[in-house]
Amino acid sequence: MILKALKKYWHFALLASVFMVLEVYVDLRQPRLMAEIVDEGILGLHNGGISDIGIVTSTGLRMILVVIFGGICGILSGVCTNLCSQNFGNDIRKNAFRRIMHFSFSQTDDFSVGSLITRTTSDVTQVQNMVAQLIRGCVRCGMFFIAGSIALVSLAADFGSVILIAMPILLLEVAFVLWRTNPLFRLLQNRLDRMNTVIQENVAGARVVKAFVQEKRESERFAKSNDDLVDTQFRVLILMSYMRPVMNIILNLATIAIIHIGGLRVQDGSIAPGTVMAAITYLSQILNGMMMLAMIFQTVTRGITSSRRLREIMDAEPPIQDGTEPAPAKAGSISFQNVSFSYPDNDASVLRNINLSVEPGETLAIIGETGCGKSSLVNLIPRFYDATSGTVEVDGADVRSYPLNDLRDRIAFVLQKSELFSTTIRENILIGNPDATEAEIVSAAKAAQADEFIRQQPDGYDTPVAESGTSLSGGQRQRIAITRALVKHAEILILDDSTSALDFRTEASLQSALREQYRNVTKIIIAQRISSVQNADRIAVIDNGTVAACDTHENLLKSCKIYQDIYASQVKKEA
């Protein structure tokens, strides 16, 4: 996944590496220039012990120019690295979100909203950081280690023994720390998932929390998830904190060893004092490179963990797949043939042996007690879920044979919960049909009994809507959602208990508009109230996952005991 996404930006990665090589070359060049200043400019070893200010000046200017060049290369390397890593992260985040948008409902439930948020934010950032470190850090550390070691040994072969002793100790420490921290990184991201879930639930459900005075309870729940996250992070940081002090000790001991060996060689005249200074600088660069490499390993390990979590999203195959058959002509007929359904990971049957047909332009109402399977039944039509057995047909074709976009393009669906987005009322309506004209928007809003209250808003149709539509009442949200469905001009309209927040008068006006203006549209209306369904062409009574009866209001009052009981509990009590 990473290599495929990076392929698009390989030129930035290559340029960043080239500029980093030049920057490190400059850093490795500095110790020899400093040795030249000390040995020739100050001590005058080849000039009878007489200092030569000219050498100090000229070499100093060369050092300044080299440093400037190295700085420019470092800046360019950083720019190219960020262009590569940021664009890469941008693509990964978009691809992950696009994948999530094609998830089935069951997949979203399995991952949880909090986890999906973490994966598209924190995990992408970790992978992005890993890419940046690999481009810059590995080149830098590798050059310091290889070229620095060669340069150090070229000054005096004895200096190589210091590297041979110090390096295995450093590598063992790095390996130990990474071995202990590696399993903690996945735990860390999982606990971040949990914390994000708690935040998401409480922000979305803030009104429930306040209504039941549960601020203290939810604060304690968040504190627990946050403490778990901090505890895991603390364990990681404690392990990482061992690394730098140990490395500093090794660096200082190695420096002492270089000074000792260098002092002996200066005494016997085999090397000059400036060479010892250069050797100390090279050693510092090599070991600091190793310390940096340890931090890179940490970032890479964490990035690999996040990459696996992202791969779980990218590799997840939605159980609802596109059909391959050409879509039949649009008409609006629906047929359930021996349909049974159970939710994923749940063996209990929600629907059993459903046989039901709806003719084009017909209005079918569905009524039944809470939890009897009404919403589950209509969710099978646009393939939010697939039937466990049996066949659901739209316009004479199995819904599983349709390309999903073609199928759902025929259906306008108003869910039980009216989901609105934090944009204007107009933009929320245009989700149903981005090409709708102003006249179509107003016509649909009037039919949904929404036009009047929308015009009373501060900016009318251009009034902003708060997140989740919280700036509007429940009835207003439902009417905007119905407007959004009507402006789609679909052949099938499904209202899943989407008028529950409307008063009787407003609902009656809505039903009248649907009968008059949308008489050719096939309508399925789920409701709890008799008044919402009695004018339908037919009413299906669902009882414990089966169709107990399906007939007109008048006939059901004569023949269906369940419908009689519902009617008696509502109408007669009101009377």
Per domain, the residue ranges of the chain are: 2-314, 334-574
Q: How far apart are CA 100 and CA 111, in angstroms?
A: 10
pLDDT at 48: 65
Distance CA 302, CA 298 (A): 6
CB 421 within 8 A of CB 437: no
Q: CB–CB of 119/310 below 8 Å?
A: yes
SS3 523: strand
DSSP-assigned letter for residue 318: P
**R_g over Cα of the chain:** 36
**Dihedrals phi, psi of 334, to nearest 5 degrees:** -135, 140
Average pLDDT of adjacent 10-residue blocks, the chain of 575 residues: 77 90 84 73 66 76 87 92 91 89 81 84 89 85 80 78 80 79 81 83 74 81 87 83 78 82 78 78 78 77 85 85 85 93 85 94 91 90 92 93 91 87 92 93 94 92 86 89 93 91 88 91 92 91 92 91 88 55
CB-count burial class (<10 Å; 0-12, 13-18, 19+) for 391: middle
- Give, in words, the CATH class of 334-574: alpha beta
Structural contact between residues 182 and 155, judged by C-beta atoms closer than 8 angstroms: no
CA distance 301 to 245: 21
CA 430 – CA 291 distance, rounded (Å): 56
Q: Residue 335: what pLDDT?
A: 95
Cα–Cα–Cα angle for 201, 224, 195, nearest 5°? 40
- At 45, the amino acid letter reads L
Q: What is the DSSP letter of 468?
A: G
Q: How far does CA 321 lie from the centroid of its chain?
A: 22
Coil, helix or strand for 370? coil
Alpha helices in 393-437 (DSSP H): 404-409, 425-430
pLDDT for 575 equals: 44
What is the predicted pLDDT for the residue at 550?
93
Type and span of the H or E element at 337: strand 334-342
Residue 66, amino acid = V
In sequence order, what are the residues at sequence separation of 6 or more whose Cβ sits closer than 8 angstroms to the Cβ of residue 106? Answer: 319, 343, 344, 345, 385
Domain covering 2-314 in this structure, CATH number: 1.20.1560.10
Q: Quick one: pLDDT at residue 41?
A: 66
pLDDT of the residue at 470: 79
Tokens 């039937």 belong to which residue? 387
* Distance from the Cα of residue 181 to its chain's centroid: 24
Cα 431–Cα 459–Cα 493 angle in degrees, nearest 5:
30
Q: CA of 75: how far to CAs of 16, 131, 136, 286, in Å?
A: 10, 17, 11, 22
Instruction: Please tell me the predicted confidence (pLDDT) of residue 463.
Output: 93
**Nearest one of 286, 43, 33, 26 to 159, comparing CA atoms:** 286
Taken in order 313, 315, 318, 319, the sign of the CA dihedral is negative
Tokens in use for 492?
């099938």
Contact 234, 189 (CB under 8 A): no
Per-residue pLDDT at 46: 65
Q: Which of 139, 163, 186, 447 is nearest to 306 (CA)?
A: 186
